[in-house]
Amino acid sequence: MKKENLLVFDIDGTLLDSENVHQTGFVKAMKAIGVSSVNTNWESYTHLTDSYIAKENYEIVINRGFSNQILTRFEDEFLKEILDASVTEIQGADAFLNKILTETNYGVCFATGSLLKPAILKLNRANIRYDKELLVTSSHYLTREEIVNAAIAKAKTYFGVKKFKRVISLGDGIWDVKTAQNLNLEFIGIGEKNKEKLAAKGAKHHFVNFKEFDINLL
């Protein structure tokens, strides 16, 4: 089926029940590269991505510039920390993705603040079907706006579309709704944790999981 519209999925907390695994692994990996203390007030950061947060904490604590070499080392440490972690999908996520791709005129893409190797591990661990060509992470971008724009661009190429009629972002955090607003995208909230916060930031639609999702919104 020709894809005229697009759904942009955040991963941690949206498709995967992985936030605790991710945040714990992140802090341990930072310590492994010498960053003894990490600001874990995630909502306090200008950009909520692994690369931005790692850079900011490293430069404050180590008092030295954060290079691509250090980012690669940090990513490898992060992968080690979550290698044995159990990750499950948000209820109905994989079936929902399959339904969207096989039964609707919507394409999908994945835009995550996670680094690439941990993102792939988590998706595979939860048995989420995805195409790596449609996945953009913070391994190459510091801001969520850049990540989402890059994911949309990849989706255009992948699905052979010059411009999508509708682009809807799906996420679980206030940073997701802010990014959607900054890029003038529609937004649908997912998950239990931040329902009231998302509504306060202007999210009009929200579902606890994908089994509850009202596909008539699309």
Q: What is the CATH number of domain 5-18+88-217?
A: 3.40.50.1000
Residues across the chain? 218
So what's the pLDDT on residue 142?
A: 97
So what's the pLDDT on residue 193?
A: 86
This prediction's pTM: 0.96
State the Cα–Cα distance between residues 30 and 80, nearest whole angstrom.
12
* Residue carrying structure tokens 């995208």: 185
Tell me if 98 sits within 8 A of 132, measured CB to CB. Answer: no
Tell me if 75 sits within 8 A of 117, measured CB to CB. Answer: yes
Tell me if 103 sits within 8 A of 215, measured CB to CB. Answer: no
So what's the pLDDT on residue 176?
A: 96
State the Cα–Cα distance between residues 217 and 104, nearest whole angstrom.
12
Angle at 119 between CA 94 and CA 8, to 5 degrees: 55
**Spans in the chain with pLDDT lower than 50:** none
Q: Which two tokens stand for residue 44?
A: 């306090």
Question: Exposed e or buried b for every residue in 168-177, given b needs 16+ CB within 10 A?
Answer: bbbbbbbbbb
Nearest to 173 by CA among 150, 147, 200: 200
So what's the pLDDT on residue 146?
A: 98
Q: What is the CA radius of gyration of the chain?
A: 17
Torsion over CA: 65, 117, 46, 62 (sign) = negative
* Residue carrying structure tokens 């913070």: 138
